[in-house]
Amino acid sequence: MTKNKFADIVINRPIEGPFTYSIPEDLGQYVGVGSCVEVSFGTKKTMGYVVGLSSSCKLKSVKPIVRILDKSSHIDTEILKLAKWMADFYYSSWGEAISATVPSVIKRPLKIRRRKTKEYLEEPDVKYVDGSNTHLSPTREQKEALDSIKKCIDDRMHKVFLLHGVTGSGKTEVYLQSIAHALEKGRSSIILVPEISLTPQTAARFKARFGDEIAVLHSRLLGSKRVFEWERIAEGRAQIVVGARSAVFAPVKNLGLVVVDEEHETSYKQEDVPRYNARDVAVKRAEFSNAIVILGSATPSLESFYQTQINRYTLVELPERIDSKLLPEVDIVDMREELTRRNMSSIFSQSLKTWIEKDVSEDKQVILFLNRRGFSTFISCRKCGYVVTCKRCSVSLTHHFNLKKLICHHCNYKTDPPDVCPQCNSSYMRYWGIGTEKVESELHRLFPKASIARMDTDAMHKRGVHERVLSKFKDGSIDILVGTQMIAKGLDFPKVTLVGVISADTALNLPDFRSGERTFNLLTQVAGRAGRGDLGGRVIIQTYTPGHYSIQAAKNHDYNTFYSKEISFRKELNLPPFCHMVNLTFRGHREENVLKITESLKDRLHKKDKSKKVEILGPAPSPISRKKGMYRWNLILKSDKVEDIVSLLRNVLGSRRRERGVIITVDVDPY
């Protein structure tokens, strides 16, 4: 046997590689494909990943590997292959993609990790778990779904199921029994949930069923606790992994099943390089492992539902709530009429006020939802029209009453509210728009006896606050909970009989072709928080556009009508799922320079695109045209196949991410 003396190594930089390094004698027996090593690159040391070995090398001089990380950082060939696919699809280097699959704490030297032993967080006490350790006897629909899922697991077939069911229709029970079946066959499972719904409640429900077989990976897990869970998975001691986005890379062996709960969630998309969507990576990983995938949602993404229509995915429906519990009644309140009725409160319609009063007095609970933090959303001068905006971003500043500050929601710039107009010195500064903080203060005024809590990223800054508010809500010591989308998901509180949406229009008015889809999803999710118990439920949606199909479909709990309207609109305009899009963003401090580079790249792309398969739109300013002091312009590339676009980009741009001071980012399938 010849000894391998050289290793092909890729690194966590936007440079393709692989690069050849020699393996020092004393490391020989430890270095293999998948090893994490430290190498010197240029003048610096950097982390590298071994992707190949060889016994000879044509280069005259090669540098040696500096050292190797311990074995818990070793990467399976399956994950290396998945990372290669990600690099090709999402336009990153292989090294960057591999790096994304390994938690950063694993890449730290062992000594440093050990020193941080005390760092991990105690799991909060979970006193309010509904979870049983035995399977429930499935309903007819659940059984049908389970039969086809189990058969695929038995046959080691790769298949993607889209499990479409309203909240409370028993999707989680289907996940649990599918996982159990996979486990019986010796196969592991990964369950992805959006970070925001990875509450102790969720984890506890899985733990109640499977006990120590479970490893939970969430972002609150720090240092050694994360290492501990990672090692348990890698050694096969935990065969079921529950986690957010990056858990899709968990080093399980013999993968049989991946569940992606709330598959439509945008939080599955990673915002840094590689900008992957964990849902789509999950499907790929399962394909490589002959595993099955269950994508679950009450409001499937257009992309996923479309796949069932062209017979790539299998649609399974759970059309009813368990025990035939009724979906809540949804009232739409036309806020234009409220204005003519001279209702003086601009926030609450008469009907919403009445229902809040009634339910609170009957000791029931209320959730109010608004997709905007803060107090007032912008401030302008009544005399000259001047709007107070962020100095570094092209957005207006939001007033935060508690902090007595104006804050930029894009860069966190803070300043004092002006007493007089900075432009004309008049003292008529007017505060417009409403945020959650204002809703909360109005509630205190209108319902002085009610106990009210707010849940948004401002209020939830400190660790543990989130759990505390939830458990207080659960035990009934809070009457009204006000919040952003944070409270739209996953919560299951039987005493909530009323859910109010303060303004359905905030999401609709975004300049984004998905705004209709987002609005439908959000309203449906929010509505799902009402009437989980036996008390029934009511949802009140306030809007200025009551006739919009997203709002009407949400009122009628009618996904199919929503889908058929939305899909025909996407088809007409050739938007996803009928094409893939790639968003190129150009940022820099000098606008004319940014624009020049954007235009010149567009020209070069046009010239090189011999096949004419790629449509190039732009340049156009980004929705936030200036952010953190940088001007931002976009090009949008469209084609049937991502490969067409990516290969054109590689041809023109190579691995460069910067041109004459302008930073270029590439986002495949952007949100």
**Binding footprint of Zn ion on the chain (CB under 5 A):** 381, 383-384, 386, 390, 392-393, 408, 410-411, 413, 421, 423-424, 426
C-alpha dihedral sign at 263, 264, 265, 271: positive
According to the binding rule CB under 6 A, does residue 202 interact with ligand ADP? no
The 8-class DSSP code of residue 325 comes to: P
Contact 668, 646 (CB under 8 A): yes
DSSP sequence for 6-48: EEEEEESSS----EEEE--GGGTTT--TT-EEEEEETTEEEEE
Closest to ligand ADP by CB, 139 or 246: 139
Q: Which does 546 bind (CB under 5 to 8 A by kind): ligand ADP, Zn ion, none?
A: none
- Residue 294 has a CB neighbour count (10 Å cut-off) of 28
Residue 367 CB, shortest distance to ligand ADP, in Å, is: 16
Which residue's CB is nearer to ligand ADP, number 262 or number 669?
A: 262
Residue closer to ligand ADP (CB basis): 88 or 144 = 144
- Give the single-character DSSP code of 633: E
Quote the least distance from Cβ 325 to ligand ADP, whole Å: 9
Question: Which partner, ligand ADP, Zn ion, none, binds residue 497 by CB below 5 to 8 Å per kind?
Answer: none
**Binding residues for ligand ADP restricted to 152-171, rule: CB under 6 A:** 165, 167-171
| 14 or 494: CB nearest ligand ADP | 494
- C-alpha Rg value of the chain to the nearest Å: 27
Given 23, 83, 113, 173, the residue binding ligand ADP (CB under 6 A): 173
Which tokens hold the place of 463?
Answer: 């660790």
x/- contact string, 399-438, with ligand ADP (CB under 6 A)? ----------------------------------------
CB of 323 to ligand ADP, least distance (A): 7
Q: Nearest approach, Cβ of 202 to ligand ADP (angstroms)?
A: 10
Q: How far is the CB of 414 from Zn ion (least distance, A)?
A: 10
CB of residue 424 to Zn ion, shortest distance in Å: 3
> Which option in ligand ADP, Zn ion, none does residue 136 bind, with CB closer than 5 to 8 A by kind?
ligand ADP
As measured in angstroms, the least distance from the Cβ of 114 to ligand ADP is 40
Least distance in angstroms from the C-beta of 168 to ligand ADP:
5
Q: What angle do CA 473, 351, 521 make, to 5 degrees?
A: 60
Type of residue numbered 277 = N
Kindly determine how many residues on this chain lie close enough to bind ligand ADP according to the rule CB under 6 A. 15
Residue 139 binding partner per list ligand ADP, Zn ion, none, with a CB distance cut-off of 5 to 8 Å that depends on partner kind: ligand ADP
Considering the complex, state which of residue 146 and residue 582 has its C-beta at the smaller distance from ligand ADP.
146
**Range list of H helices, 91-139:** 94-101, 110-115
Reference 189, options 175, 179, 198; nearest CA is 179
Minimum CB distance to Zn ion, residue 505 (Å): 24
Q: Which does 413 bind (CB under 5 to 8 A by kind): Zn ion, ligand ADP, none?
A: Zn ion
> Which partner, ligand ADP, Zn ion, none, binds residue 538 by CB below 5 to 8 Å per kind?
none
Question: Does residue 289 interact with ligand ADP by CB under 6 A?
Answer: no
User: Is 172 among the residues that bind ligand ADP (CB under 6 A)?
Assistant: yes
Distance set, CA 106 to CA 90, 308, 373 (Å) = 24, 39, 36
170 touches which of ligand ADP, Zn ion, none (CB within 5 to 8 A by kind)? Answer: ligand ADP
For the purposes of burial, counting CB atoms within 10 Å of the CB of 240, is it exposed (0-12), middle (13-18) or buried (19 or more)? Answer: buried
Rounded-to-10 torsion of CA 156, 99, 223, 263: -50
Nearer to ligand ADP, 171 or 399 (CB): 171
Q: Tell whether residue 142 is a contact of ligand ADP (CB under 6 A).
A: yes
CB nearer Zn ion, residue 420 or residue 573: 420
Q: Rounded to a whole number, what is the distance in angstroms from the first to the last CA of the chain?
A: 51
Phi and psi torsions of 581, nearest 5°: -120, 150
Handedness of CA 257, 262, 266, 271 (dihedral sign): negative
Whole-number minimum distance, CB 529 to ligand ADP, in Å? Answer: 11
User: Min. distance of Cβ 153 from Zn ion in angstroms?
Assistant: 50
Which residue, 528 or 588, has its beta carbon nearer to ligand ADP?
528
Biggest alpha carbon–alpha carbon distance for the chain:
89
57 vs 411, beta carbon nearer Zn ion:
411
Structure tokens belonging to residue 161: 């199921």
**Where would I find the H helices in 117-240?**
140-154, 171-184, 200-210, 223-234
| CB closer to ligand ADP, 172 vs 519 | 172
Which DSSP category does 563 fall into?
Answer: H
**Which residues face 163 on adjacent strands?**
296, 316
Residue 326 touches ligand ADP, criterion: CB under 6 A: no
- Smallest distance, ligand ADP to C-beta of residue 439, A: 27
**Which CB sits closer to ligand ADP, 318 or 642?**
318
Which residue's CB is nearer to ligand ADP, number 168 or number 274? Answer: 168
- Rounded Cα distance between 652 and 601, Å, is 8
Nearest in space to 486 (alpha carbons), one of 468, 460, 513, 508: 460
For residue 590, the minimal CB distance to Zn ion (Å) is 19
Separation CA 381–CA 388 (nearest Å): 8
Work out how close the CB of 528 gets to ligand ADP at its nearest, in angstroms, rounded to a whole number: 8
Backbone angles phi, psi at 260, to 5 degrees: -120, 105
Q: Which is nearer to ligand ADP, 10 or 146 (CB)?
A: 146
Angle, to 10 degrees, between the axis of helix 591-608 and the axis of helix 642-653? 110
3-state secondary structure of 238: coil
Q: Which stretch binds ligand ADP (CB under 6 A): 68-76, 132-140, 144-152, 570-578?
A: 132-140
Region at 17 (left for phi over 0; alpha for psi -120 to 50; beta for the rest): left
* Residue placing its CB nearer to ligand ADP in the complex, 165 or 433: 165
Tell me the C-alpha distance between 261 and 131, whole Å: 18
Residue among 633, 644, 659 nearest 608 (CA): 644
Which of the listed partners (Zn ion, ligand ADP, none) does 192 bind, with a CB threshold of 5 to 8 Å by partner kind? none
Distance of CA 83 to the CA centre of its chain: 19
Binding site residues, ligand ADP, CB under 6 A: 130, 136-139, 142, 165, 167-173, 322
